[in-house]
Amino acid sequence: MELVYPHDFRLTEKEKTSICYLSFPDSYSGGLGDTQFSFRLRQAGGSRSSPFQDDGSYNREAPPTLQREAAHYFGYVYFRQVKDSSMRRGYFQKSLVLVSRLPYVNLFQCLLQLIAPEYFDKLEPCLEAVCNEIDQWPPPVPGRTLNLPVMGVVIQVRIPSRVDKPGSSPVKQCNQENLLPAPLVLPSVHELDLFRCFQPVLIHIQMLWELMLLGEPMVVMAPSPTMSSELVLALTSCLAPLRYCCDFRPYFTIHDSEFKEYTTRTQAPPNIIVGVTNPFFIKTLQHWPHILRVGELRMSGDLPKQVKVKKLAKLKTLDTKPGIYTSYKTFLHKDKTLIKRLLKGIQRKRPSEVQSALLRRHLLELTQSFIIPLEHYMASLMPLQRAITPWKNPPQIRPFCQEDFMKSLEHAGPQLTCVLKGDWLGLYRRFFKSPNFDGWFRQRHREMTQKLEALHLEAICEADIVAWMKDKSEVEIVDLVLKLREKLVRARCQHLPVKEETLQRVSLYIATVIGSLPEDLQTVLRHP
């Protein structure tokens, strides 16, 4: 590793080694020129503060799929390989890597396209100048359109927000400033060209969606890090707006510190999707249940050549042909209308971004049809608002009962919004065992608990506190002060969905209650 910018960015030796290995193609790549790909790396050691520390407001306002990672880094790579007789190996090989906790693959790869060619030419001074410019960028606030100047170009991009309607196109800026030079507008900070990424597997999109939903272990084997990383990122994004809660490695090498952990045969493969290029992995990972092998993209007639589903037993250690090696049987029937629409698009030479939008819309509707019944059932577990009284602890959220949920599907299941037939009940039962259900349930339960806390605070504000105090002992009143203070601290720390005026009224209540007590107690309570 030649240099790190900014200089004060701390990486452990283990992280530095991993980044070095992940920044170069793992197997021999005869291709000359420039290549871009990405990887994801587990943070080594304890938690470290980010230089852009916020109070958690970004993650609260961002869509779940774009939240800042706490325990992983993303690496965005620009690799150059050109013949150079002055080098010992006869080649110039160098990578510029941008490391971030944010999954902004489009923005950061676009940034590298601007910086890397200049950096390979001018080296460190160029990087120092770029870092000084990036230091002046505004923070990524969800819902805002940012103008980001770098090297004489202004990149313009909108940061998606949690309140955006899923599937809607980015909002156009109405009051566009007259930017000179005209900005380089990115249509999305993170969305890949799904149609291009999924070209060899379009007819299996239903199966791949199910495997992602269930968090099944999968190996994606591709001829290049670019194909492997894009396909892995496309697969994890096909559950949006549901967050893919399993581990994923867009590009993985035999030098990775987790290599032994993933290749061991003494335990079942972990819930992870790994992208690899080295054929050695066919041997070491042949016990995994799902292996997707794609070759170089070849157009055959109208549709790019589609891989076939094959039995795992047919997986040859050497010269494995492209295919999905699995014994998995889908729960839902294949959607033939989607393939027909995509085929028609190919015949009419429809632009790739239009085909991608079609594919993304289909996957979004599929995920929503699956998730909406779960959302409705979860909402029914919330206590009624009239059960929330000011002077008692808020009631508990009722437990999630899988059998009750299954019964609710008869009249409020996915069949209301999705034409696909199949064993939806079997799919839900399998989903309940996956990390994706666990991640979704924890998030929803946390949000509902916070909502209950907020409603309880509002109930306290609407109560007649003076009337309540009339027949209460000093001990009970002091107890109320301590409880209200605790609630106030929690509301501010956890950023509960409560209006500021409600919190101010609670502070006023605390002052009123303390004022009714004898002076000695007032002194103690006013200086906790």
Same domain, 196 and 295: yes
Task: With respect to residue 361, please indicate whether it lies within any of the assigned structural domains.
Answer: yes
In the DSSP assignment, the letter for residue 519 is H
Same domain, 251 and 294: yes
- pLDDT at res. 324: 93
Same domain, 282 and 324: yes
The alpha carbon of 468 is separated from its chain's Cα centroid by a whole number of angstroms, namely 48
Closest CA to 188 of 227, 232, 237: 237
Band of the pLDDT at 177, cuts 50, 70, 90?
A: low
Report percent pLDDT > 90 for the chain. Answer: 48
Task: With respect to residue 184, please indicate whether it lies within any of the assigned structural domains.
Answer: no
Q: What length does the chain have? A: 528
Predicted confidence (pLDDT) at residue 173 exceeds the cutoff of 50 = no
Band of the pLDDT at 461, cuts 50, 70, 90?
A: confident
Band of the pLDDT at 174, cuts 50, 70, 90?
A: very low
Mean pLDDT of 426-441: 96
Residue 315 belongs to a domain with what CATH number? 3.40.50.11500
Task: With respect to residue 182, please indicate whether it lies within any of the assigned structural domains.
Answer: no
Predicted confidence (pLDDT) at residue 225 exceeds the cutoff of 90 = yes
**C-alpha–C-alpha distance, residues 90 and 272, integer Å:** 38
Among the residue ranges 20-24, 101-105, 152-156, 475-479, the one predicted with the least confidence is 475-479
Predicted confidence (pLDDT) at residue 40 exceeds the cutoff of 80 = yes
pTM of the model: 0.90
Band of the pLDDT at 224, cuts 50, 70, 90?
A: very high
Mean pLDDT of 455-479: 85
Task: With respect to residue 447, please indicate whether it lies within any of the assigned structural domains.
Answer: no
Angle at CA of residue 150, ends 144 and 153, nearest 5°: 90
Same domain, 333 and 423: yes
Mean pLDDT of 447-458: 91
Predicted confidence (pLDDT) at residue 65 exceeds the cutoff of 50 = yes
* Tally of CB atoms within 10 A around 393: 10
Predicted confidence (pLDDT) at residue 482 exceeds the cutoff of 70 = yes
pLDDT tens for 498-518 read 888 888 888 888 888 888 888
Band of the pLDDT at 92, cuts 50, 70, 90?
A: confident
Task: With respect to residue 165, please indicate whether it lies within any of the assigned structural domains.
Answer: no
Residue with tokens 């993933």: 262
Same domain, 424 and 480: no
Task: With respect to residue 53, please indicate whether it lies within any of the assigned structural domains.
Answer: yes
Task: With respect to residue 321, please indicate whether it lies within any of the assigned structural domains.
Answer: yes
Same domain, 469 and 427: no
Listed residues 399, 419, 436: the one ending a domain:
436
Band of the pLDDT at 171, cuts 50, 70, 90?
A: very low
Mean pLDDT of the chain: 87
**C-alpha–C-alpha distance, residues 142 and 160, integer Å:** 5
Closest CA to 109 of 69, 72, 74: 74
The alpha carbon of 296 is separated from its chain's Cα centroid by a whole number of angstroms, namely 28
Listed residues 421, 436, 451: the one ending a domain:
436
Same domain, 472 and 416: no
**C-alpha–C-alpha distance, residues 409 and 324, integer Å:** 32
- pLDDT at res. 30: 58
Q: Residues 479, 484, 487, 492: what is their CA dihedral angle, to the nearest 10 degrees?
A: -140
Band of the pLDDT at 169, cuts 50, 70, 90?
A: low
Q: Which residue has the higher pLDDT, 280 or 74?
A: 74
What is the H or E stretch that residue 38 is in?
strand 33-42
Predicted confidence (pLDDT) at residue 53 exceeds the cutoff of 80 = no
- In terms of Cβ atoms closer than 10 Å to its own Cβ (0-12, 13-18, 19+), residue 34 is middle
Same domain, 35 and 99: yes
The conformational region for residue 90 under phi > 0 = left, psi -120 to 50 = alpha, else beta, is left
Predicted confidence (pLDDT) at residue 46 exceeds the cutoff of 90 = no
Same domain, 498 and 366: no
Helices (H) and strands (E) in the chain, counts: 18, 14
Task: With respect to residue 163, please indicate whether it lies within any of the assigned structural domains.
Answer: no
Predicted confidence (pLDDT) at residue 180 exceeds the cutoff of 80 = no
Mean pLDDT of 251-275: 88
Q: Which residues of 45-75 are buried (b: 16+ CB within 10 A; e: fewer)?
A: eeeeeeeeeeeeebbebbbbbbbbbeeebbb
Residue 3 · residue 127 · CB < 8 Å? yes
- pLDDT at res. 493: 86
- pLDDT at res. 175: 43
SS3 per residue for 422-470:
ECHHHHHHHHCCCHHHHHHHHHHHHHHHHHHHHHHHHHHHHCCHHHHHC
Listed residues 99, 134, 157: the one ending a domain:
157
Mean pLDDT of 270-286: 90
**C-alpha–C-alpha distance, residues 430 and 210, integer Å:** 10
Predicted confidence (pLDDT) at residue 400 exceeds the cutoff of 90 = yes
What is the H or E stretch that residue 264 is in?
none
Pull the structure tokens for residue 150: 């770098």
pLDDT tens for 192-210 read 999 999 999 999 999 999 9
Prior bond of 181 cis (ω within 30°): yes
The domain in which residue 54 lies consists of 13-157
**C-alpha–C-alpha distance, residues 519 and 528, integer Å:** 15
Give every CB contact of residue 453 below 8 A, 6+ residues apart in sequence: 394, 487, 490, 491, 494, 496
Same domain, 198 and 138: no
Predicted confidence (pLDDT) at residue 466 exceeds the cutoff of 50 = yes
Q: Report the number of distinct structural domains present in the chain.
A: 3
Q: Which residue has the higher pLDDT, 101 or 474?
A: 101
* Tally of CB atoms within 10 A around 24: 17
Same domain, 318 and 276: yes
The conformational region for residue 405 under phi > 0 = left, psi -120 to 50 = alpha, else beta, is alpha
* Tally of CB atoms within 10 A around 510: 19
pLDDT tens for 230-255 read 999 999 999 999 999 999 999 999 88
Same domain, 479 and 359: no
Predicted confidence (pLDDT) at residue 426 exceeds the cutoff of 90 = yes
* Tally of CB atoms within 10 A around 25: 21
